[in-house]
Amino acid sequence: MVKVLSSNLGYPRLGEKREWKKSLENFWNNKISEDTLLSETKEIRFAALNKQKEKGLDLIPVNDFTLYDHVLDLSVGFGVIPKRFGEFTNAVSLRTYFDIARGNDTAVASEMTKWFNTNYHYIVPELDQVEPKLLENKALNAYLEAKEELGIDGKPVIVGPITYLKLGKGADKADFASLVEKFVPLYKTIIEELDAAGAKWIQLDEPILATSLAKEELVLFEKVYEELRTAAPHAKLILQTYFESVDEYEAIIELPVDAIGLDFIHDHGESLEKIQQFGFPNNKYLAAGIIDGRNVWRADIQLKQAELEILTRLVPKEKLIVQPASSLLHVPVTKKSEPNLDQVLYDGLSFADEKLDEVVLLAKAVSSDAKEVFSELQKTELAVSELNRSEHRNNKEVQAEIAALDSISADRKSPFETRIKKQHEWLKLPVLPTTTIGSFPQSPEVRSKRAAFLKGNITKAEYEAFIDEETERWIRIQEDLDLDVLVHGEFERTDMVEYFGQKLAGFQATKFGWVQSYGSRAVRPPLIYGDVAFTETITVKESKFAQSLTNRPVKGMLTAPVTIINWSFVRDDIPKSDVFNQVGLALRKEVLALQENGIRVIQVDEPALREGLPLKRSRWEKYLNDAVYAFKLTTSGVEDETQIHTHMCYSDFDDIIDAISALDADVISIETSRSHGEIISTFEDYHYDKEIGLGVYDIHSPRVPSISEIKTNIERALRVIPVQNFWINPDCGLKTRKEEETVAALRDMVSATKEIRETYTILEK
């Protein structure tokens, strides 16, 4: 029997019950020592490795575990450490490692941005004037640890040199080849040491190949991998791509490596087409990403088996590896923690552990006579079929609304120039109005009360009374700070997406379906498993109560369709654009309900708009058109006097600014402080004709910014944005911050604003 290998690209770090997150935060809060942190996280790491071993995986990844971010690990291992944190000739301390990610009293944190088009965010390497040196071979340490302590001959996973450097910032783009030359010797050392230690497989992740690259960059790939190939005379090198198909397929399959990993899930069918058209080298392994590593639905096993059977006619079985299409970092650990879900839904789910079972099952089915695993294959196929036939996915009322979309206008009643005059007349705000993005700190008491309510230890009335008290307390805090437009604080919400999922039909919340967003920040994406429908008002009660407490305007706070979908696990049996519109129609009813209840400033957040962009520009237009339409479907029904805000974060916007303008929101707020105002250059070249707030301080760091620092950020923005169009706000919501630092930072923000207002008052006189 010819054996088809099974493999994994990476495993979730959080632990089944977020044990990793808890250890990190206990360390940051000085509740445990560094030794205890390392001991606890080692247990989590070993549990994951042993689980993969028990499942029978042939190639088990090592070095996919991290204490914060795998890209940051590589940076500190290479000595790519911003000078504001000091000079280092040896491996950095754990405190310094975390300071780079989170900032400290004297140094701002490094920028954080999305990992391609996923919901994970990495720490951006700062590459200006860098002289790299290998301070630590973390991949070697991980390999030896697994081998010596667990008997696992693992597959070290490393972000490849071109991807790592392309994702950095600060280097001269014209001198990219010279920059690569500085790092290749370090990569060679890492690989040489792994080869010498006995590593049989080494995975080099180059997802940058799934984007559109210039010819000279492909030439650079060939040169780099020719050098890296010499570093491993015994180990097999896997060049791993994911998240899309590769454009220059013919050139990439000829690179001097032993295996090529291709995505067969998010490739729009192009990977198989290219193999059929151009063939695949007989001397290389094909690592076929056949299981979706970014979504939670059970695979259509007959379809996957058929695809693999086609591949075995194009690639010898002994050269085929079955694996997920990407790391399983992007999905929860196991569905076994969700025993109370509807049985049809539960059976249709597949989290990380179940996906590995699917990988092993498919490898067995292709390796031998499928009769050996027939019952398991049949069981999987039945589960998928039952979910698709269920009433959840066949809501006739929703499907009728979608069919009648042409009868609903997706445009506001009047153009912006008309609306904004009416809004100014009603709001009567000062120049440079101040506000926040929506959420305030979820204190231990807030979380404790919520847990007590969910466990049945306090009544619904007691819980709601507490939420009202907390809302009133923060309305008074905001009035005391002299903010101009207030928010209710969102104390009733666990998460900006999950909360809406709990209120809309077609969604299902999980108990332990956590995934990592950045650092210790974990989110629990809801499951969009059926047709989405509005069933009850979602935010009206809390917003109306908050507005009753103050004469200042209070913003209603919603999450917009594309962000809800991009931050959820969305059903994959219908086009995503159909789900966009289902959510848009449901939220339109909520927006109108807020207006009817006296809320005339409504923020509909789209922080993940850019996050969902396809990696290939050729697919951007359709995605952006669908996204803009769904947003306008949500917001276009209100009167001119109702001011629509939106918020975006973690992104560069210069290449989608037309789409942002097309949203037709009256006010947008954008994260900018971690990128040190670089986004401002967008507005030097683009005349944005609506109102805008560029975040004036970073909320992802615990440090409190100074008044002068905030003034600098404001003044820099006002060089290109008219003062009458500019709003003052933090970067993002303040949910993850502590109360004392939140109040201190907002007080500085208001003080800085008032000082600058004085300047403009003098100029006007």
Catalytic residues: 700
| DSSP H/E element including 694 | strand 691-694
Cα separation of 312 and 117, whole Å?
31
Q: Which residues contact 127 (CB under 8 A, 6 or more apart)?
A: 80, 165, 168, 169, 170, 171, 179
Place of tokens 């040491």: 193
Q: Is 503 annotated as a binding residue?
A: no
Q: Is 20 annotated as a binding residue?
A: yes
Q: Is 21 annotated as a binding residue?
A: yes
Q: Is 647 annotated as a binding residue?
A: yes
Q: Is 267 annotated as a binding residue?
A: no
Q: Which residues contact 698 (CB under 8 A, 6 or more apart)?
A: 103, 108, 109, 673, 674, 705, 731
Q: Is 462 annotated as a binding residue?
A: no
Q: Is 506 annotated as a binding residue?
A: no
Nearest to 695 by CA among 661, 633, 646, 649: 649
Q: Is 115 annotated as a binding residue?
A: no
- How many other CB atoms sit within 10 Å of the CB of residue 636? 18
Cα separation of 71 and 97, whole Å?
12
Q: Is 438 annotated as a binding residue?
A: yes
Cα separation of 734 and 741, whole Å?
10
Mapped onto helix, strand or coil, the DSSP state of residue 385 is helix
Cβ(147)–Cβ(51) under 8 Å? Answer: no
Q: Is 145 annotated as a binding residue?
A: no
Q: Is 490 annotated as a binding residue?
A: yes
721: amino acid identity, one letter = I
Cα separation of 305 and 297, whole Å?
16
Q: Residue 138: how many CA atoms within 13 Å on its side-chain side?
A: 23
- How many other CB atoms sit within 10 Å of the CB of residue 719? 10
Q: Is 649 annotated as a binding residue?
A: yes
Q: Is 19 annotated as a binding residue?
A: yes
- Give the tokens for residue 387: 């979910």
What is the 3 state secondary structure string of 445-499? HHHHHHHHHHCCCCCHHHHHHHHHHHHHHHHHHHHHHCCCCECCECCCCCCCCHH
Which residue ranges make up the annotated binding site for 5-methyltetrahydropteroyltri-L-glutamate?
18-21, 114, 119, 567, 611
Which residue ranges make up the annotated binding site for Zn(2+)?
647, 649, 671, 732
Which residue ranges make up the annotated binding site for L-homocysteine?
437-439, 490, 605
Which residue ranges make up the annotated binding site?
18-21, 114, 119, 437-439, 490, 567, 605, 611, 647, 649, 671, 732
Which residue ranges make up the annotated binding site for L-methionine?
437-439, 490, 605
